[in-house]
Structure 1
């Protein structure tokens, strides 16, 4: 939804064809047994040569776009068989392009890693055969370094290994599912005897190892500290040692984005009958990150009662109180949200609000979101923080491309970063996976087993499919995007920044929606665009309707979601002959040229063209919006305001609103009524032009009927809030508005 899909771009199609040709060539060797494994030293030497070549800076070509491609291969299911039930195999027994079901291989890392799209290093099996080990969906480097993930000497079991050959001819074992790899720690009986003591920290004194973890914390090496505290727990000889190490590990799990594990560690970090000051605070913080604000407050109250001298609890309680107020009443400080949105990435510290809505079954459409009470146009329905969010600077000239080999789908932007981020979040916070996997995933069939070998089973390809079907493209703020539309006279419709919002993703599509989404950082704000009775299903657009679109083009753009839109606008499009659409395009081009340099002498001509444009609508659906007509009526109204032809301006703007489905009374004194009146009887389609239309009415009434300015101002603020999420900044965004 509003993501940058380049599947039809010639430039990217040629890029995809090259990759698919290489994949087709590799598939020709599927099932082939390899007999030419190079000696271990040559594999390592070739790896270092490749590593150095990749890291050597090359001269930048200003005319060449730097494309970083995340390739999604043909999907395969994660292993759901416990390692103990798998048969050990050698690398020399593996066949190319094959997933060795029912098998496992034990590997030992030989070289430092290289981070590319995945993380790679050379590893050997027990016989000394070396291959490239490729791990995908790993945490970002700034969170966990590649060296920490693939440290030389580490030993692992790869379950049901996938064996392949890379583009440069290197044989490799590729791991796409996090649960398909089991890392073995010191003392594990599954470690081959000749690999024992292979670089692990041998000091088994829990206190000593914990101190090393403390040193890592001081240097903010959270992943290293997490590993050391885990070793300290394993080495603990007393309950006190285990509790201390668990409590310290709780902090590292918080810093690594693993609040479920942090909460568990904090709970194990004290005697249940006598919770400590630090353990209560850590539990409260973990519950906060899990967005369980009421439970977090309960822990903080217990902390305040038990340890009244604690100075940190007061500010924390104030913060949780604000979250609870947001959650229960939908009262937000948008100024504070905008301030936070200036950060990189723009992550907002706010609670979710969704009191006026609920999820229900939508007949024939799966799940949907419905109002639980009567709501008015402009009312806040949902304010939701992203489950996962990937911010991409729109000015960045590099391109992150996610290419799905199975579906030929290519998306530019944050999806490639979102994929490992979400997989890591689900793997380390399995309770969160319920809401995510409940999202629409088309016809993809995954495994039903949720845990194996003590770890969550996360299907990476299912996650990718859910991201593709449910992610939203978003600006840093919709306000900034709206301001750009004023100055550049163009409306942004797709974005490279993207995220997943679990509740909003359940909303179904209509080109003629009854609510509208906007963004402030990673907060999605949804407001009603019409007056709606209780029990109404909410709909918004999955892709923004554009003027002059054909029915076929619209349905093609929606085909990825596997439905046909039957809204009144689509039915009108379907009934419009191609020749009529071409005539509409020609008239629209003439209007554009005319309105770009309009003068009073040309107003009559513009009205004639608008009348001709009006005749191109077949009226198959009487309530269908006429986007092209509305846009140009409002544009002409704006010019007439500038010419001080305010009465004519009001007439044009009203016609523009009526073309969007509005029923509106706009009578200044002496105009079909002795009493001046401005009233929206029925709200129509909400577009990016709507605030501008009401602003023109406001300007016209300043001269024509000042007593109506406050009413026009009210409608302007409502339409502005629909477009950008709030109305507080309207006076700063729209010039000359008081």
Structure 2
């Protein structure tokens, strides 16, 4: 399979070919029948697409959304378009002529009033809606400031990257009514009265078609001859549909409009409370729910909301959570969305340096395991919600995957319907190429998808499926997608800067990120998380950090840089050899010829160790960790307990961990090595040593989302009690 580097090189070559067409008109245009035939082939590919297929998307041009009103733009036709160009201050009036298809982008065919046709590709559309509902056949649309592109195969298409550049019109709209279409006048919809729009909206709502219900209610509000009571009723119904799709600000605005004239409207108050709750404005929600209970003291729903709001306020202010309940809730769904508030502990935002920008520092001394942050994801995408996609951004030179694409679309939809959330989001780092640019002002009419994509690229965390386990070591951004991990954007934790060896531990329960101190830390200490797998060799770590445009100056990186490059290369070759032969040695040869298998593994480990001896490096010999763990298991499987113990003791020494001191180095394999050594102690009648090490394990290594070792106890109780009679 093609790797990211090969995909990047091929994409760059293709882009150079396309750039040569910039500003030119296409030499040929496909006729309607050809485009429809091609579209049907795309439909076949859509239906036959396998989960293992990796799709591709290339972004060759980054451009801002249209910020001007439609009235200030000039209409043009498809024949006026030139290639690889964004047509500023222009718009296209189009009509879809086929049902849409989707693999990566939503693809359809459009015609203009002159009867000319072309392909339209839509990106970053709401992933929670079916593409068939987003742009149905026979839709009349306006595409503001259209971008016209050509592929390396010479195929042309319109590309819409900003959902706000797309406007849907009814055939009754004055813009459409004055236009003559070569292929026939668009079908007009019967104009209904307010009561009929209400009935239509209610029917859609019952079917779960909430977006269609919102439109029907909106059409009713805009209808002529409508009375004030009818407007209030339609607004009330619309707010309920908006709550269903998390359009909290829209719902809040509807309810507040009703309450201006009818302050005791119980339904409006209740939905106002739900909207405030959804926006995490719990204090104002508390005020409103108390108002509602004054009006209607026996309102059961309001009392239930009061209890929920008070619980959220306790979580938010004190960081007191029912973690056991949260874990149980998260396990019930493949796409968990927990009902919990975010908590910010003794941390504050601070300017760290010119190079590192902002970060988080402690406002007081904290103990190991203390809760520092418990944050809900601004947006999260789970493995069941995306397909494998390689997305190459020619401007940033970064290759992203399918989770990034979907999560960016979720972020766009969230701030389009809740624009008050945008400012804190746009304050996040969006890449070196954005420094110095004016921050965009997001409105419901203009949202910069590319800027948000850059923010997601730089700030998204990999959320592991085993995130509730002790000391979870997350794969790197390039790995967690294909390994079935989720991608989450967490706003405040995104400000935590990188160090290869972190001083805080992050873990996850559903869409909640929990950050706790990994050690006792003093006031003013900067919180640090690793952005890359700490067991990667220096060149690989540097490659993973490349898009962040900084040089890590932690002790590990300084030690690595002090070694000759030739040593690095030699060590990498040896580690790659170990990785290539590991499976064969562990799963096959150990059973066929155990002594030879152990000898081969020992030789590989010794060769890696010698590279450290050559450079006289004693500290952080990370390349030995995995081979030591593997060799220890091989010795254990062949009943060579003494050598197995020596392997695990050596692994602990690399981490500078013993019974009297805390580990200086925390990796995911330290936990495993300690457990293996405990088992060997119990198996060789060295029970006292085993108990001491088990106690030390629980005291100094176990930090889980609950802040103690309850998860460790629950997950290991049966294992230890069965083998050793130890009850944790």
Q: Give the TM-score of the pair, scaled to structure 2.
A: 0.83
Which secondary structure does the structure 2 equivalent of 1:720 belong to?
Answer: coil
Specify the alignment match of 1:346 in structure 2: 336
Q: Aligned in 2, Cα 1:195/1:387: closer, same or farther, shift over 3 Å? A: farther
Contact 2:242 2:248 in 1 (8 A): yes
Q: Is the 8 A contact 1:105 1:159 kept in 2?
A: yes
Q: Counterparts of 1:426-465 in structure 2 under 5 Å? A: 426-445=415-434, 448-450=439-441, 455-465=444-454
Please, which of 377, 380, 383 is the counterpart of residue 389 of structure 1? 380
1:406 aligns with 2:388: no
Q: CA deviation at 1:658?
A: 4.6
* Contact 2:240 2:271 (8 Å CA) reproduced: yes
Corresponding residue for residue 360 of structure 1: 350
CA–CA separation in structure 2 for the residues paired with 1:266 and 1:505: 34
In the alignment, the residues of structure 2 paired with residue 612 and residue 415 of structure 1 have an alpha-carbon distance, to the nearest angstrom, of 36
Q: Secondary structure at the match of 1:616?
A: helix
TM-score, normalising length: structure 1: 0.82
CA–CA distance in structure 1, aligned partners of residues 698 and 486 of structure 2: 28
Distance 1:37 1:72, change over 3 A: closer
**What does residue 724 of structure 2 align with?**
none
Aligned to 1:242: 231
- Secondary structure, counterpart of 1:265 in structure 2: helix
Using the alignment, how far apart are the partners of 1:225 and 1:708 within structure 2?
A: 64
Once the two structures are TM-superposed, the CA of residue 696 in structure 1 deviates from its matched residue by 5.5
User: Which whole-Å CA distance do the structure 2 matches of 1:641 and 1:34 have between them?
Assistant: 69
Does 2:633 align with 1:626? no
Cα distance between partner residues in 2 of 1:302 and 1:358: 34
Pick aligned residue for 1:159 from 144, 157, 160 = 144
Q: Which runs of 5+ in 1 are unaligned?
A: 1-8, 667-678
- Residue 53 of structure 1 pairs with residue 41 of structure 2: yes
My pick for the range that moved more, 95-104 or 315-324, is: 315-324
Deviation at 1:374, TM superposition (A): 1.1
SS where residue 535 of structure 1 aligns?
A: coil
Match of 1:106 in 2: 93
Q: Tell me, yes or no, if the aligned pair for 1:284 and 1:299 is still in contact at 8 Å.
A: yes
Instruction: Confirm or deny that 1:544 pairs with 2:502.
Output: no
Determine if the alignment matches structure 1 residue 616 to structure 2 residue 644. Answer: no
Query: Aligned runs of 1:564-603 on 2, under 5 Å?
Result: 564-578=551-565, 580=567, 582=570
CA shift at 1:321, angstroms?
3.0
Structure 2 regions of 5+ residues with no counterpart?
A: 722-727
Match of 2:319 among 325, 330, 336: 330
Report the Cα offset of residue 369 of structure 1: 0.9
Cα deviation digits, residues 160-218 of structure 1 (max 9, x gap) = 22123457766433221123233335664433424699445433411210111001101
1:146 — aligned with what?
Answer: 131
Q: Specify which of 7, 22, 27 is matched with residue 19 of structure 2.
A: 27
Relative distance call for 1:167 and 1:267 in structure 2 (3 A) is: farther
Further displaced range: 98-107 or 186-195: 186-195
> 1:59/1:507 Cα in 2 relative to 1: closer, same or farther (>3 Å)?
closer
Counterpart-to-counterpart distance in 2, 1:708 and 1:134: 62
Q: What is the aligned partner in structure 2 of residue 729 from structure 1?
A: 711
Aligned residue for 1:463, secondary structure, equals: helix
**Cα deviation, residue 722, structure 1:** 4.8
Which of 681, 689, 695 is residue 713 of structure 1 equivalent to?
A: 695
User: RCO higher in 1 or 2 (8 Å CA, sep ≥ 6)?
Assistant: 1
Query: Residues 314 and 713 of structure 1: is their aligned pair in 2 closer, same or farther, counting only changes over 3 Å?
Result: farther
- Cα distance change, pair 314–707 in 1 and its aligned pair in 2 (3 A): farther
Listed as ranges, the matches of 1:91-130 within 5 Å are 91-130=78-117
Alignment: residue pair count: 694
**What is the Cα deviation at residue 145 of structure 1?**
3.5
Root mean square deviation of aligned Cα: 4.2
Instruction: Tell me how far 1:656 sits from its aligned partner.
Output: 4.2
1:127-147 C-alpha deviation (Å, 9 max, x unpaired)? 34333333222112xx33334
CA-CA distance at 1:272 after TM superposition: 4.9
Distance change (3 Å), C-alpha of 1:144 and 1:512: closer
1:317 Cα deviation from its structure 2 partner: 2.7
**8 A contact 1:572–1:619 mirrored in 2:** no
Matched ranges for 1:142-221 at <5 A: 143-165=128-150, 171-185=156-170, 188-194=173-179, 198-199=186-187, 201-221=189-209
Structure 2 partner of 1:671: none
The residue that corresponds to 2:217 in the other structure is 229
Q: Deviations over 1:370-396 (max 9, x none)?
A: 1122112222222222111111159x9
Counterparts of 1:120 and 1:491, CA distance in 2: 28
Q: What's the CA shift for 1:123? A: 2.9
CA distance in 2, matches of 1:621, 1:361: 34
Alpha-carbon distance in structure 1 between the residues aligned to 2:265 and 2:287: 15
2:286 to 292, 297, 307: 297
- Residue 319 of structure 1 corresponds to 308
How far did residue 626 of structure 1 move?
3.3
- Residue 689 of structure 1 aligns with which residue? 669
1:659 and 2:646 are equivalent in the alignment: no
1:520 corresponds to which of 483, 491, 509: 509
Residue of structure 2 aligned with 1:66, choices 47, 50, 53: 53
